Amino acid sequence: MTSAGQGHRGDACRALIWIVLLTAALAPASSIADASRGELGGYRLGNEYPFNADTKFQTAADGSLKITSQAPVKPSDIQKVYVYATPGTHIIGKILYQRAFPDLAAAEALATDYQLRLEEIYSGWERLKAPIPMGKTGGAMLSRLRQGPYALIVFYRGTEQGAEMLVELEYESASPERKAWKAQLKAEAGAP
């Protein structure tokens, strides 16, 4: 191959690398920008979680399964993605981004950052009353947005180990989708 041909090949290779890097850099923004379709972290409300033998979960107080996501699509500043699903059919009713911190101040800083970003991305969503203090553990619900059947909430709170920041996507409390998911959860949690 001539040096001119190698130059074009090198340019194409550099362009491809640039595209891959740019796509990776934009991935965190796109992973939070689809909540208007009920999607967060690579999962969608109402879909079945791909449960398998390696799935780690615990039973939540409401009888749903709190599943530690095995293959999340998440921003780099988020440590874990949790999915709450019905215990029998594994239908997703809530999706959470979570990041642990040693103290409330650090958790509040990231929560404030997410609040500002999400309120800008979803500027057309209805803003509900916030902030709301979290109680004995400290922290606050900084942002509560809703549109259609979806609610997007940003909060931080104290934990036994320090503090955590969470972004939560779920069905809005008065929506038919939420009522249907809760009814399915109740039926599955009560089944033998």
Range of the domain at 91: 33-190
Answer whether 141's CB lies under 8 Å from 118's CB.
no
Answer whether 139's CB lies under 8 Å from 163's CB.
yes
114 part of a folded domain: yes
What is the structure's pLDDT at 12? Answer: 44
Provide, rounded to the nearest whole percent, the portion of the chain with pLDDT above 70. Answer: 82
Q: Virtual CA dihedral for 43, 47, 52, 58, nearest 10 degrees?
A: 80
Q: Looking at the whole model, is its pTM more than 0.85?
A: no
130 part of a folded domain: yes
Q: Give the type of residue at 105.
A: A
Phi, psi angle pair for 49, to nearest 5°: -75, 135
Please write the tens of the pLDDT for every residue from 121-147.
999 999 999 999 988 889 999 999 999
28 part of a folded domain: no
Cα gap 130→126, rounded to integer Å: 12
Cα gap 94→110, rounded to integer Å: 21
88 part of a folded domain: yes
162 part of a folded domain: yes
- Provide DSSP, 91-145: BEEEEEEEEEESSHHHHHHHHHHHHHHHHHHTTTSEEPP--EE--TT-EEEEEEE
Answer whether 100's CB lies under 8 Å from 78's CB.
no
Answer whether 162's CB lies under 8 Å from 146's CB.
no
Cα gap 23→98, rounded to integer Å: 23
pLDDT at 51 exceeding the cut of 50:
yes
pLDDT at 58 exceeding the cut of 90:
yes
Residues 6+ apart with CB under 8 A from 189: 62, 63, 64, 86, 87
Cα gap 8→30, rounded to integer Å: 32
4 part of a folded domain: no
Please write the tens of the pLDDT for every residue from 17-35.
333 333 333 344 444 458 9
Answer whether 157's CB lies under 8 Å from 164's CB.
yes
The residue with greater pLDDT, 24 or 186, is 186
20 part of a folded domain: no
- Both tokens of 136, joined, read 């004995």
Confidence of residue 150 (pLDDT cuts 50, 70, 90): very high
The tally of domains found in the chain comes to 1
90 part of a folded domain: yes
What is the structure's pLDDT at 135? Answer: 84
What is the structure's pLDDT at 192? Answer: 57
